[in-house]
Amino acid sequence: MTPHPDTTTPQPDALKVEHLDVVYRVGRHERRVLSDLSFTIRRGESYGLVGESGCGKSTAAFAAIRYLALNGRVSAGRILVDGRDLMALSPAELRALRTQSVSMVYQDPGRALNPTIRIGRQMAEVFEVAQGLKPRQAHEQAAQMLARVQIPTPERAMANYPHELSGGMQQRVVIAMALSINPALLILDEPTTGLDATVEAEVLDLVSRLHGEFNNSILFISHSLPVVARMCDRVGVLYAGELVEEGPAASVFTDPRHPYTVGLLRCVPAYGRRKSHGRLETIPGFLPAPGSITGRCVFVDRCGNATDRCRSAVPPRVELGGRMARCFYPERAPDLPHTAQAPAQALAAAAPRAAQPLLRVRSLSKTYQVAGKPFQAVNHMEFDLWAGETLGLVGESGSGKSSLAKLLLGLSIPDSGGRIELGGEALAPDTAARTAAQHKALQIVFQNPGSALNRSQTVRRLIGRSLRLVGLFGRARETRLLELADSVRLTPRHLDEKPRQLSGGLKQRVGIARAFAGGPALVVCDEPTSALDVSVQSAILNLLVDLQAEQQVSYIFISHDLNVVHYLSDRIAVLYLGRLLEIGPAEAVFSGAHHPYTEALLSANPAAATHANRIRLQGELPSALNLPSGCVFQTRCPRKIGRICEDQEPPLLDAGFGHAIRCHIPAAELKGAQLTPDAPAPGIDVPPPSSPHP
C-alpha cells in the first residue's frame, strides 16, 4: 500500500495531543479525567486507544474534536489537528474543521442516524454542506460512497429509513458519511461493540480496507485488545486518565512494558484455553476514581511489581526506543507475578457422568405472533445436559439463545408438544406452576446486573429474599447469607449497600449469590460478563468455575464471545435462527469438523490468529418471519452444495463422540475441506489482502 506520506512531504501530523488535562465539574468539585496525555497520530497512521471503561478513552476522542460535555473543559495542554491549535479556533473555524477535516463514528449507529430522514437525504446532506454540491450531484456522490462501503444496493438503501437497515448496514452508512468528506482524521469510538461477531468482522475488514484506500489517519477507540491489535499500527493504553504505555501494536501486545497492559492481556481467555487449564488471571482491586490519585503511580494499588518508590513518586514517561511506558520498572513488566495458580485438582478431575441427564429437552419450540404472522424464535430444540456439566450456547443475536433460556426458566410459555425434564421430573411450562424445589434447582444469572437487581433493596435483602425459599429465617438465615456473600467474594461491608453503590462486577457477584442461594442444580448464565470489563470478566468466570467445582452445578452458558464459551463449556450448541445447527463436546466443535456457520463464527474471532483463509458470510441474516426454504443457513452458506440445500432441511447428523452437525455435507467431508488452510471452499469471497499493516 501507499507509504506514509510524512516521510516525503513535510505535512503536519493528523493529530497531536500535548500534555492534555481534561477536568469534569461534578457538583462543586473538579475531577481530572485525563492528565498529562500526549500522543501523536501521523498521517496515514491508525492509532488505537485501549483501556477499560472509565479510563478516559471517549473523553480523549471528544476532546480531539473539542466537543466535550458541558461540564468538561480542557484545563491544560494543546490539541493540534492537522497542525492547527484546536483551542485557538473561532467557532466558525471549528465548524469548518469538523465538516472538512475530522469525522467521528460512534458506538451506536442507530443513534448516530436521524430516524426520521431517509438514508439518501442524510448522506447527500454531507456532500451539500461540506462540498457545496447541488442536490443531484450530492445524491450521485452519496450512492458511490455507499457502494464503496460495500452496501450491495445503494439506491435501495438510500430510499430506506435507518430503522429499516440492520445494525451492520447502519454502521456502514455512518462510516460512509464519515469518509465522504475524506477527513484527515477519522475517529472511531467503539465502532463494533454493539454488533454481532460475524458483522463485527465484516465492519473491521471494511475499515481496514478503506484505510488502505483513503489513507486517512485513524484514531480507533476500543476496550477490546484483539480488535485494536488487528486494526492499528500503534496503540496507547489508557489507565485512569493516563497513557501508561504506547508503542507499535505488535510490540505492545507481544512484549508489554507496563504491568497494566500485562494484566489486561493475561485476563482475556486466550484462544483455545479451557477451564481445565486453570483459572484466569485477574487484575486485583478497582479502578480509582478519576483524579483521586496524586503524587504516586496511578496503578500502584493493583500492581504486583509496586515498590515504595512507586508509592511516593509519579513515574516518568520512560522512552524505550520508539515506545514508551510510564513505569519505574518497565523491564520487570513481563515478570509480573501471576494471580492464578496451577489448575486446581477439582477442576482437573472431570466428574463421571450420571446415568440420567439432569436436563432433558425434547421438541421444544416457541412461536410468537408478529403482526399476524408466525415467528419461530425456537424450533424443535432437543438436547441433554448432565450434572456438573456446562453447555455453551453460541449464536448471533436473533439466533434464539435468550428465547431458549426463557423457555427453560418458564418465563415464557413454549408451544405445546415440547417437554422439559429436570432431574427426571417434567417441568411445568410456567414458572408460577413449578414447585419450590424446582425454583431452587433452576436459577439464572442475568446479562445486565443493573436491571437484574432491584435498586430499592440492599444487598442483604436482595440475597435474603432468595434465602426465604430455602426456609431459613433469623440467625440461620444470617449465617447462610454471610456464607453466600463470602463464596462470591463479597465483604460484609457490601451487604448494607444498594446496587447503585456497587461496581458492575460487584453487582454481578450479588446476582450470582442470589442464583446460588437455594443450592441450584442448573444455573442459566445469560451473557453474564458481556457488560463487564475484561479484568472483571475474568474474576467472574473464575468464580463461576469455582462454584461449579464446589457444588457440581450445571451451567447453560450463553455468550457471543467464543473464547469465553470455549473456556467455560464442556459441550457447545450452535444456534441459528432458532435452530440447533451443531452440538457436541467443546473440543470437537472447536477443532472440527464444523458446521459452515460455526466455521464462519470461529473465523470472525479477532483473537484467532489466522486471517488468511477467513470465511465471510454473504448477505444479511434472513428475517425470521420469512425463513429460507430447506436449510435455514443456505442463503449465506459459503459451502452450499446445490438444490438439496434449498429443498430439504438437513438432519442433525452424528459426527461421532456425541458431536452432531445439521448439514447435508457429511462430517468427514466438511473436516477435509476445513483442514486445508490455503484452499478456501468454492463460493467463498476471498478478501483482497487489504490490511496495509499485517
Partner 1 sequence: MSIARERLRAAAHSATLITGLAILVVWIVCALFGSAITPFDPYADNLLSTLASPSAAHWFGTDQLGRDIFSRVIMGARDILIVAPLATLLGTVLGTTLGLCIGYLRGPLDDVVSRVIEAIQALPLIIVALMALAAVGTSNATVVLVIGFVFTPLIARTVRAAVLVERDQDYVAAARLRGDGRLSIMFIEILPNVLPIALVEMTVRLGYAIFFVASLSFLGFGIQPPSADWGIAIAENYSLIGSYWWTVLFDAAATASLVIGVNLVTDGLKSVVDA
Between residues 431 and 618, which has the closer beta carbon with respect to partner 1? 431
* Nearer residue to partner 1 within complex by CB, 40 or 448: 448
**Residue of 114, 144, 356, 451 interacting with partner 1 (CB under 8 A):** 451
Selected from 260, 446, 597, 633, the binder of partner 1 by CB under 8 A is 446
**Is residue 463 involved in binding partner 1 (CB under 8 A)?**
no
Number of residues that bind partner 1 (CB under 8 A): 28
Please choose, from the candidates 96, 97, 92, the residue with its C-alpha nearest in 3D space to the C-alpha of residue 79: 97
Q: Given the rule CB under 8 A, which of 443-451, 549-557, 648-656, 675-683 is the region that contacts partner 1?
A: 443-451
Axis-axis angle for helices 474-487, 504-516 (nearest 10): 130
CB of 449 to partner 1, least distance (A): 9
Looking at residue 554, the DSSP 8-state letter turns out to be E
Under the binding rule (CB under 8 A), the answer on residue 558 touching partner 1 is no
Q: Give the nearest distance from C-beta 519 to partner 1 in angstroms.
A: 13
Give the residue, chosen from 129, 469, 652, 653, that forms a contact with partner 1 under the rule CB under 8 A.
Answer: 469
Burial of 249 (0-12, 13-18, 19+ CB in 10 A): buried
Which residues, 6+ apart, have CB-to-CB distance to 493 below 8 Å? none
C-alpha 576/C-alpha 272 separation (Å) is: 23
In the complex, minimum distance from the CB of residue 508 to partner 1, in angstroms, rounded to a whole number:
12
Determine which residue in the list 75, 356, 363, 456 makes contact with partner 1, applying CB under 8 A.
456
Residue 326 is a binding residue for partner 1 (CB under 8 A): no
Exactly one of 160, 166, 193, 448 binds partner 1 (CB under 8 A); which one?
A: 448
Say whether the peptide bond before residue 593 is cis (omega within 30 degrees of 0): yes
The minimum distance between CB 133 and partner 1, in angstroms, equals 44
- By CB under 8 A, which span of 53-61, 275-283, 369-377, 450-458 interacts with partner 1? 450-458
Segment contacting partner 1 (CB under 8 A): 266-274, 362-370, 453-461, 658-666? 453-461
Greatest extent of the chain over all pairs of C-alpha atoms, in Å: 78
Instruction: Rank residues 460 and 616 by Cβ distance to partner 1 and give the closer one.
Output: 460
Q: How far is the CB of 512 from partner 1 (least distance, A)?
A: 12
User: Closest approach of Cβ 442 to partner 1, in Å?
Assistant: 7
Within 405-434, which residues bind partner 1 (CB under 8 A)?
409-411, 431-432, 434
Q: How far is the CB of 412 from partner 1 (least distance, A)?
A: 10
> Residue 331 carries which side chain, given as an amino acid letter?
E
**Nearer to partner 1 (CB atom), residue 198 or residue 443:** 443
- Residue 370 or 679: the one with the smaller Cβ distance to partner 1 is 370
Cα gap 317→327, rounded to integer Å: 7
Which of 134, 353, 455, 658 touches partner 1 by CB under 8 A? 455
Looking at the Cβ atoms of 445 and 545, the one nearer to partner 1 is 445
- Torsion-angle region of residue 182: left (phi > 0), alpha (psi -120 to 50) or beta? left
Minimum gap (Å) between residue 525 Cβ and partner 1: 13
Please say which residue, 136 or 493, places its beta carbon nearer to partner 1: 493
- For every residue of 80-127, DSSP letters joined together read EETTEEGGG--HHHHHHHHHHTEEEE-S-HHHHS-TTS-HHHHHHHHH
Among 317, 439, 611, 616, binds partner 1 (CB under 8 A): 439
Q: Is 457 or 503 the residue whose CB approaches partner 1 more closely?
A: 457
Select from 95, 164, 465, 654 the one that contacts partner 1 (CB under 8 A).
465
The 8-class DSSP code of residue 495 comes to: G
Burial class for 585, CB neighbours closer than 10 Å (0-12, 13-18, 19+): middle
Supply the minimum distance, in Å, between the C-beta of residue 513 and partner 1. Answer: 12
Sheet containing strand 72-81, strands side by side: 29-41, 15-26, 72-81, 84-85
676 binds partner 1 (CB under 8 A): no
Return the H-helix or E-strand segment holding 159.
none
How many C-beta atoms lie closer than 10 Å to residue 371's C-beta? 6
**Locus of grid cell 504506547:** 246
The region of 298-306, 404-412, 603-611, 635-643 touching partner 1 under the rule CB under 8 A is: 404-412
C-alpha cell recorded at residue 601 = 463464527
CB of 451 to partner 1, least distance (A): 4
CA distance 556 to 524: 5
Q: Find out whether 315 and 297 touch, Cβ atoms under 8 Å.
A: yes
Distance CA 42, CA 192 (A): 24
The residue (of 15 and 510) whose beta carbon lies closer to partner 1 is 510
Sole binder of partner 1 in the list 117, 426, 436, 476 (CB under 8 A): 436
Q: Residue 392 or residue 520: which is nearer to partner 1 going by CB?
A: 520
Burial letters 440-476, b for 16+ CB under 10 A, else e: bbbbbbbbbbeebbeeeebbbebbbebbeeeebeeee
Choosing from 14, 232, 452, 525, the residue that interacts with partner 1 (CB under 8 A) is 452
Give whichever of 435 and 648 is closer to partner 1, judged by the CB atom. 435
Helices 534-551 & 504-516, crossing angle to 10 degrees? 20
**Please, which residues have CB within 8 angstroms of residue 373's CB and are 6 or more apart in sequence?**
625
C-alpha cell at 90: 473561532
What span, in angstroms and rounded, lies between the C-alpha atoms of 242 and 244?
A: 6
Q: Single out the residue of 615, 692, 653, 591 nearest to residue 232, CA to CA.
A: 692
Strand 390-394 to 571-576 pairing: parallel
Task: Find out whether 284 and 571 touch, Cβ atoms under 8 Å.
Answer: no
Report the residue number, 425 or 646, with the smaller CB distance to partner 1.
425
Name the residue nearer to partner 1 (CB basis): 353 or 455: 455
Cα separation of 261 and 245, whole Å? 8
Q: Indicate whether 69 belongs to the interface with partner 1 (CB under 8 A).
A: no
Rounded to a whole number of angstroms, the minimum distance from the CB of residue 377 to partner 1 is: 17
Closer of 1 and 476 to partner 1 (Cβ): 476
Least distance to partner 1, CB of residue 24, Å:
16
Of residues 523 and 655, the one with the C-beta less far from partner 1? 523
Q: How far is the CB of 132 from partner 1 (least distance, A)?
A: 43
454 binds partner 1 (CB under 8 A): yes
Specify the DSSP element, H or E, that contains 258: none
For position 57 contacting partner 1 by CB under 8 A, the verdict is no
Binding to partner 1 in span 484-543, by CB under 8 A:
498, 500, 514, 518
Closest CA to 136 of 118, 121, 146: 121
Pairing of strands 217-222, 46-50: parallel
**Binding span for partner 1 by CB under 8 A among 258-266, 285-293, 465-473, 554-562:** 465-473
CB of 336 to partner 1, least distance (A): 35
* Cα of 636 vs its chain's centroid, Å: 23
Count, residues in the chain: 694
| 448 DSSP assignment | -
Residues binding partner 1 (CB under 8 A): 409-411, 431-432, 434, 436, 439, 442-444, 446-448, 451-457, 465-466, 469, 498, 500, 514, 518
